[in-house]
Amino acid sequence: MARKLYSDQQLIGRQGEALVKARLHAMGFAFNPSDTMEAGVDGTLEIRDPVSKAATGKLIAVQIKTTQSGDYTRETGSSLEYLCDPEDVVYWREWTIPVIVVLVRLSDDSMFWKATRDGEAPDGRRLRIDKSADVFDSSAVGDLAALAVDTDRFGVWMPPLKSGEPLHVNLLRIDLPSTIYTAASTVRSGREARAELLRHHPNPPDEWVLRAGPLSPSPIRAPRCSRTSSTSTPSKRSV
């Protein structure tokens, strides 16, 4: 008598679903699998506010494609392609929320993802995966949150989902002087002051400013600055 069987593909599919669920939870999303009858979507992920932990109601449908091993179509060290079934593509287009495909390969624990709307022409079946940009891990949190935003409504805002990222800064240290000098000026503008200084020295100082009177971190009575001052004894102020 024939007996009921669990096929290898059934078990492989369940492993992929479990891995994706665990990964989504680690990324800070809620995942609700389609434990009942489904026609091409394995579950939905919901964006969770990273600060208040509140459910946002922003959903993404998830279709998981799991394989045990082997190369994908046109797979290289940097990219691969996945050809979706035409029936799936037609079905996904009917959904009122975004749909993503997550590719899981058990032999190397690799996971990649792509939004189905990014399928290439002419029929949208071909998904081109960048192995660096499309990894399904914490680096995808921001892109997934942005995908869930309803672009048909104005004023929709999603808080940034906190995840680590490298930051490169190019800052210069500024040391302010402890003392400035002030004096009345014989000129009315910085342009006039600069021209007057250039008349008497080819390389006049730049550390001055002209407002109600010139301010300088160096003594104005120095030969290169005194040309613009009408006061022989400038006042000194501590900063």
Of 30, 20, 85, the closest CA to residue 56 belongs to 30
Q: Average pLDDT in the 126-147 region?
A: 95
Q: How far apart are CA 70 and CA 105, in angstroms?
A: 8
Of 148, 135, 146, 141, the closest CA to residue 25 belongs to 141
> 10 Å Cβ neighbour count for 82?
19
28 contacts 48 by C-beta, under 8 angstroms: yes
Q: Which of 16-20, 47-51, 103-107, 171-175 has the lowest mean pLDDT?
A: 171-175
Q: How far apart are CA 208 and CA 193, in angstroms?
A: 10
Task: Answer with the residue of higher pLDDT: 180 or 70.
Answer: 70
Whether 126 has a pLDDT exceeding 90, the answer reads yes
* pLDDT band (50, 70, 90) for residue 89: very high
Predicted local distance difference test score (pLDDT) of residue 149: 73
Predicted local distance difference test score (pLDDT) of residue 152: 56
Task: Answer with the residue of higher pLDDT: 148 or 73.
Answer: 73
Q: How far apart are CA 59 and CA 8, in angstroms?
A: 31
* pLDDT band (50, 70, 90) for residue 231: low
Q: Average pLDDT in the 79-108 region?
A: 95
How far out from the chain centre does Cα 156 lie? 18
Instruction: Domains for the chain: give ranges and CATH numbers.
Output: 8-147 (3.40.1350.10), 179-238 (no CATH)
Count Cβ atoms within 10 A of the Cβ of residue 78 and give its class: 0-12 exposed, 13-18 middle, 19 or more buried. exposed
The mean pLDDT value of the chain amounts to 84
Q: Average pLDDT in the 15-29 region?
A: 95
Please state the three-class secondary structure of the chain as a single string: CCCCCCCHHHHHHHHHHHHHHHHHHHCCCEEEECCCCCCCCCEEEEEECCCCCCEEEEEEEEEEEEECCCCCECCCCCEEEEECCHHHHHHHHCCCCCEEEEEEECCCCEEEEEEHHHCECCCCCEEEEECCCCECCHHHHHHHHHHCCCCCCCCCCCCCCCCCCCCCCCCCCCCCCCEEEECCECCCCHHHHHHHHHHHCCCCCCCCEECCCEEECCCCCCCCCHHHECCCCCEEEEC
Of the ranges 88-102, 158-172, 195-209, 219-233, the best mean pLDDT one: 88-102
